[in-house]
Amino acid sequence: MRKLHLVEARYIAYIVKWSLIAALIGVVAGVGAIILYDAIEFCDKVFLGYLAGYVDPTPAGEGGVSPLLPRNPILIPLVTALGGLLSGVLVYALAPEAEGDGMDATIDAFHNRGGEIRSRVPIVKLAASAITIGSGGSAGREGPIAQIGAGFGSLLSEILRLKPHERRIAVVVGMGAGIGSIFRAPLGGALLAAEALYINDFEVEVLPPAFIASVVGYLTFSYVKGWAPMFSCADAASPLDPVSILLYAALGVVSGLAGVAFVKSLHLVEETFRGFPIPKIFKPAIGGLILGVIGAFFPQVLGTGYGWIQLIVDKRFEFIPASIIPVLVLLKILATSITIGSGGSGGLLAPSLVIGGFLGATTWLIFKAALPSIQTSLASLVIVGMTAFFGGVGKVPVAAIVMASEMTGDYALLAPSMVATSIAYVITGRNTMYRYQLRSKAESPAHRSEYLAQLEASIAEARSKQGRGNIETRR
């Protein structure tokens, strides 16, 4: 009885400890998301607004601002190059780990670095990402906020002297809390924390503290920035029938194929820039210059791109002509590959959602022209396209489905999203936009000791059985 009470006491202490740790991580992630949001908005007004005379649109949940096309398109390449240069100086002079996608860096920290993230990295990541995205870089806010939350998780682990295993959990919990905060998607953020580490596996132990941290981060961020979902999709619900299911399945196939092309493009650009015989500090500026040339003609590829998705959902084709949407799929893939592949600081999640949204709109335009009688709405295909593309290239089908529902405030498209995302996930196979993502726990150095212990126990048990068999034989 005494042993039972001792076990219960330890269990309660464990729950209390992780509840407090998760809540603290959530508060910091939420505050970090607020600071990052405001920093990107400030840089956007300075670089794109003041210097180039361009106002990019915002989704309904962030004000629903209509776009103002560049007053001086010729200045766009100079602005994006300047942003790349400043970002490169910050990153490569202070914290090279802050280059590229922050989620991938966090996944690397979990698997290969014992959950250790230098305390300066989140600060550098915030500043460099705000400049990159604010100056027009095709990247997302989730990368930097993931690294900010993860960085605090690592710092808190050091202060509390947590074990390496616990430090890893704290880092991933911070990543999920940051994403759940800035996307106003607490359940999706928590699921992403457990799912993004592997292609075919889950880190289940992360979920309980991730749920707490993500909810606290969401409450903190939304209390200041508002509770409305990011996108308004009044026309999203469509009747389900055999034709529409086939349409969603076709979108899943297209999203899977486009996802493979995106991953190949991203890795090709990374390898190309890695081979350039120039100092790393200047590579984001070159990437920014190339991006700016594209953006001068197609400003829709600049920044996160969320506002353009909102305009498509609302059928505001006076701002984004339907004829250019198929082209934007290819250009957004190229713009994102250049921004991140050249060493720019930002995330890949947001661009993948936007690419998927453009794919969904393209699919609707093609089928609507061929079959004018189809009842499936444009908004539904845009949302499902976002879900399928991100779920496929990020290898996070469950989190993608939940996040898209939370970001739109509508769960009516769960079934179509499951169809399209499953197909895209299968077609993309092992192609993932996160380089440090592993297939399963069995491949992770974080779990190597566990599997070695299991192997040793199995060997010992086999030898014991063999020994008993020999004794019985002698008898």
If one compares 408 and 4, the residue with the highest pLDDT of the two is: 408
User: Domain locations in the chain?
Assistant: 2-428
- Give the Cβ contact number of residue 93 at 10 Å: 10
If one compares 235 and 214, the residue with the highest pLDDT of the two is: 214
- pLDDT band per the 50, 70, 90 thresholds, residue 455: very low
Quick: pLDDT tens for 70-110: 988 999 999 999 999 999 999 999 988 888 888 999 999 99
Q: In the chain, pLDDT over 70 holds for what percent of residues? A: 91
CA 355 – CA 436 distance, rounded (Å): 22
CA 252 – CA 359 distance, rounded (Å): 10
Residues 6+ apart with CB under 8 A from 265: 333, 334, 337
Whether residue 453 has pLDDT greater than 70: no
Helix 164-182 to helix 207-225 angle (10° resolution) is 30
Whether residue 459 has pLDDT greater than 60: no
* Strand positions, DSSP E, 301-392: 345-346
Quick: pLDDT tens for 164-194: 999 999 999 999 999 999 999 999 999 999 9
- Nearest in space to 27 (alpha carbons), one of 219, 211, 161: 219
Whether residue 460 has pLDDT greater than 60: no
- Nearest in space to 428 (alpha carbons), one of 403, 400, 395, 453: 395
Token couple for 167: 């430090």
Whether residue 454 has pLDDT greater than 60: no
Average pLDDT, rounded, for the chain: 91
Q: What CATH topology corresponds to 2-428?
A: Clc chloride channel (1.10.3080)
SS3 346: strand
> Which range, of 143-152, 315-324, 463-472, averages the lowest pLDDT?
463-472
Alpha-carbon distances of 420 from 328, 375, 439, 450, rounded to whole Å: 21, 18, 22, 36
CA geometry: angle 407, 37, 421, nearest 5 deg: 30
For residue 16, what pLDDT is reported?
A: 86
Quick: pLDDT tens for 262-287: 999 999 999 999 999 999 999 999 99
- pLDDT band per the 50, 70, 90 thresholds, residue 1: low
For residue 242, what pLDDT is reported?
A: 80
For residue 4, what pLDDT is reported?
A: 52
Sign of CA dihedral 178, 181, 185, 190: positive
Quick: pLDDT tens for 293-327: 999 999 999 999 999 999 999 999 999 999 999 99
SS3 165: helix
Residues 6+ apart with CB under 8 A from 380: 235, 236, 237, 238, 413, 416
For residue 86, what pLDDT is reported?
A: 97
Mean pLDDT of 221-243: 84
- pLDDT band per the 50, 70, 90 thresholds, residue 472: low
If one compares 25 and 236, the residue with the highest pLDDT of the two is: 25
For residue 143, what pLDDT is reported?
A: 86
- pLDDT band per the 50, 70, 90 thresholds, residue 363: very high
CA 98 – CA 206 distance, rounded (Å): 24
Contact 387, 421 (CB under 8 A): yes
DSSP letter for each residue of 392-453: HHTT-HHHHHHHHHHHHT--TTHHHHHHHHHHHHHHHTT--S-TT-BSSGGG-GGGHHHHHH
Whether residue 386 has pLDDT greater than 90: yes
CA 48 – CA 345 distance, rounded (Å): 17
Per-residue burial over 436-474, b if 16 or more Cβ lie within 10 Å, else e, is: bbbeebeebebbeeeeeeeeeeeeeeeeeeeeeeeeeee
For residue 412, what pLDDT is reported?
A: 84
First and final CA of the chain: distance in angstroms? 42
